[in-house]
Structure 1
């Protein structure tokens, strides 16, 4: 079709530049197709990018994404490829050229929205952090739609980014929790934090005298950073975070499928490492992650917990992950199995016991009972787990086995049978015993017969034990029904006797000889 359109416009005396503008392709592409016959163009489109290139292996992916989402940028496509093929080594300029060629050949036009920003002076290291919120709509794995909310942070000097997502609108407490997580991520705070006029943060500008919400004002007093509130309709004063929000929406979340919030946040963190903070920034021409290593040294240290919250009879909260852990100072600490609930807010209250910051205390409620205590680790990236927070091991496997043996009349045979199962299935012996226990509870009168049958046939498997029990139970029920039906019929006709014939009579009837 591209070949036909180019030749039609050329016959109508369009100039090369006019054809390129009309069809939104480059002038070299126009020259190339004008110099081809139809058959040559057909052959070329079967291998549209000329000589074989490294990205040809991923052409089907790229073309499918562009056809379904024409607005995708080459940078986002590059990130999606890296997500599926982490070992892919190709330059960004190569990716841009390849995507551009595919757009031209397949006539996939990209809609571009241009927004103007006013340039702002570069900020010194450790001076400013910008914060903003965003909302997206995502397709879910069951083909529904969900609204997601996120908060984004960016250091004004290094452009190091941090994001956090949740499925419900942000409250002031959510905002404070995310600030704390961001400070832990950065390893400190800046002198100044820039915000939009959001009702979570501020009540009014009051002609330059800021009126913050009570809860957030207490937080600012504790952390001692300066608040810079942008004027209304003045996005340029925080253009960096505006771009970050747009970047998160356009590169990470756009067209990505949502399964659950834990997985989504984990993928967002991976995206920050892989793309968000790794790619060279177009303004600074440096990688944010590399510049951040220098800026980190200029950040103000923050204490691990908020003293104002403890004095107000409150504790700082942490979210419980689906693996029943919480994050604290770059480590994960376990809570009892079952603390995480699917349809719950999954928040716990934590505090540090003793002035030496030695023990982390975790509660369900601010003044509730303690559900976990851990010695605080000075390392990073560690899982600190209490073995009692895993599945209940109060009843050991051996004790469970002895409990099962007690149900059988011949306990020696039962011991032999269960010991053999333990040897054959050492990793699954508990699961095997659970199946046998269910059969014992359901068919207590049959278990000795089943045991004898299994030992005779050498069937050392709980599933065989279960199947034989089911079979014997079926046989036990079947004959009883037949006997019952015979007893109901026989008393009524028991006086009737059927007549009999000799064998010679049957032979005569069949035409045989006696």
Structure 2
């Protein structure tokens, strides 16, 4: 059983009697604040009972003088029929030694915080208007507690298997450009199945209407089927004119989707949350698979991305669904639309004068 050293006990009793804060006592004596609170309660009870406690406890001499000792451990609490939630709010009042020095000015401080004022200006007004005698840190901590906000909540969209896929570009790892000694970051294409979170990843040096469309085709072939619709950003390779109801797609991209029976659903401008699954997939790929790596060729990076997907990403347990990604993909695969027998025949669109 740990017993507090007599000189530390005397220091705590002395500092409490002199009105020193518990934070300052902890810093000076290097004792846990739970121990300080225990002696503060003992001192408060002795003050109420009119018992004086020696500030320099020593060794008992047998003269009958009562020496304060650490009480034995408490026995286990007995079960009662009253739950804590049924007790009134004032059943556990905040002790005087734990109450903030700003508590009596709470209404005024809350009003100032709502006005957007910082803790420094509030402290200065407290000193000038209310003769506040405590330190600035008390005001800073009090204002910080008042400014605590609940985390922003988002609506979670659930989709059935084979219903939606999301696509977007990111940046890959540093890769050596062909026939040079220069390293650059290629563009990272990711398609994510919304239901299972299974992904197709590939890096390319440049992008165009045809490259963008071919990447979709490769992803559909990789998954062994297509979803009903695909959610994309309003990038020029896919969308010529963004519109919420009638977006204008690039002819090549629109033809490829029609060939595979997929409908494009461009997200609203500046609304990345609509395609949050692929945004998270890109971040996961950059942070886990590619960070700190360099590749000598773009083919090497693509081989690594395919290996990482099969070996690690698809076998992971999804954080929110608490299920394996590959297991959910096996459930989703029968719901994917069948692929056409022939690949798409690409064309180029030109304007002649």
* TM-score bin (small chain): 0.5 to 0.7
- Paired with 1:183 and 1:271, the residues of 2 have a C-alpha distance of 19
Q: Identify the residue that residue 151 of structure 1 maps to in structure 2.
A: 189
Q: TM (normalized to structure 1)?
A: 0.37
**Shift of residue 229 of structure 1?**
0.7
SS of equivalent to 1:244? helix
Q: Identify the residue that residue 342 of structure 2 maps to in structure 1.
A: 305
The match for 2:218 among 164, 178, 181 is 181
Q: Residues 258 and 313 from structure 1, CA distance in 2 versus in 1: closer, same or farther, beyond 3 angstroms?
A: closer
- Indicate conservation of the 8 Å contact 2:173/2:295, yes or no: no
Q: Residues 146 and 187 from structure 1, CA distance in 2 versus in 1: closer, same or farther, beyond 3 angstroms?
A: same
Q: Which has the higher helix share?
A: 1
Q: Identify the residue that residue 200 of structure 2 maps to in structure 1.
A: 162
Q: Identify the residue that residue 128 of structure 1 maps to in structure 2.
A: 164
SS of equivalent to 1:221? helix
- Indicate conservation of the 8 Å contact 1:133/1:149, yes or no: yes
The match for 2:254 among 217, 237, 258 is 217
- Paired with 1:199 and 1:156, the residues of 2 have a C-alpha distance of 23
- Paired with 1:116 and 1:137, the residues of 2 have a C-alpha distance of 32
- Alignment of 1:264 with 2:306, yes or no, is no
**Shift of residue 224 of structure 1?**
2.1
**Shift of residue 11 of structure 1?**
5.3
Alignment of 1:392-403 (within 5 A): none
- Paired with 1:299 and 1:287, the residues of 2 have a C-alpha distance of 19
- Indicate conservation of the 8 Å contact 1:222/1:308, yes or no: no
Q: Identify the residue that residue 284 of structure 2 maps to in structure 1.
A: 247
Runs of 4+ in 1 over 4 A off after TM superposition: 9-17, 139-144
- Indicate conservation of the 8 Å contact 1:128/1:194, yes or no: yes
- Indicate conservation of the 8 Å contact 2:172/2:203, yes or no: no
- Paired with 2:153 and 2:209, the residues of 1 have a C-alpha distance of 29
Q: Identify the residue that residue 281 of structure 1 maps to in structure 2.
A: 318
- Indicate conservation of the 8 Å contact 2:316/2:324, yes or no: yes
Q: Residues 207 and 298 from structure 1, CA distance in 2 versus in 1: closer, same or farther, beyond 3 angstroms?
A: closer
Alignment of 1:44-443 (within 5 A): 118-138=154-174, 145-166=183-204, 168-306=205-343, 309=346
- Paired with 2:237 and 2:300, the residues of 1 have a C-alpha distance of 26
- Paired with 1:151 and 1:307, the residues of 2 have a C-alpha distance of 20
* Bigger relative contact order, structure 1 or 2 (CA pairs below 8 A, ≥6 apart): 2
- Indicate conservation of the 8 Å contact 2:173/2:286, yes or no: no
Count of residues in correspondence between the two structures? 206
- Indicate conservation of the 8 Å contact 1:117/1:236, yes or no: no
CA-to-aligned-CA distance 1:49-75 (integer Å, 9 cap, x gap)? xxxxxxxxxxxxxxxxxxxxxxxxxxx
- Paired with 1:117 and 1:270, the residues of 2 have a C-alpha distance of 36
CA-to-aligned-CA distance 1:462-506 (integer Å, 9 cap, x gap)? xxxxxxxxxxxxxxxxxxxxxxxxxxxxxxxxxxxxxxxxxxxxx
Q: Residues 240 and 16 from structure 1, CA distance in 2 versus in 1: closer, same or farther, beyond 3 angstroms?
A: farther
**Shift of residue 220 of structure 1?**
2.1
Question: Aligned-residue CA RMSD in angstroms?
Answer: 2.9
CA-to-aligned-CA distance 1:7-39 (integer Å, 9 cap, x gap)? xx975567769xxxxxxxxxxxxxxxxxxxxxx
- Paired with 2:30 and 2:325, the residues of 1 have a C-alpha distance of 47
- Indicate conservation of the 8 Å contact 1:204/1:210, yes or no: yes
Q: Residues 14 and 173 from structure 1, CA distance in 2 versus in 1: closer, same or farther, beyond 3 angstroms?
A: farther
- Paired with 2:169 and 2:241, the residues of 1 have a C-alpha distance of 18
Alignment of 1:456-471 (within 5 A): none
**Shift of residue 172 of structure 1?**
1.6
Q: Identify the residue that residue 109 of structure 1 maps to in structure 2.
A: none
**Shift of residue 192 of structure 1?**
0.8
Q: TM (normalized to structure 2)?
A: 0.53
- Paired with 1:133 and 1:175, the residues of 2 have a C-alpha distance of 10
SS of equivalent to 1:162? strand
5+ residue gaps, structure 1, are: 1-8, 18-114, 315-514
- Paired with 1:246 and 1:283, the residues of 2 have a C-alpha distance of 16
- Paired with 2:275 and 2:191, the residues of 1 have a C-alpha distance of 11
**Shift of residue 245 of structure 1?**
0.7
Structure of larger gyration radius: 1
CA-to-aligned-CA distance 1:400-456 (integer Å, 9 cap, x gap)? xxxxxxxxxxxxxxxxxxxxxxxxxxxxxxxxxxxxxxxxxxxxxxxxxxxxxxxxx
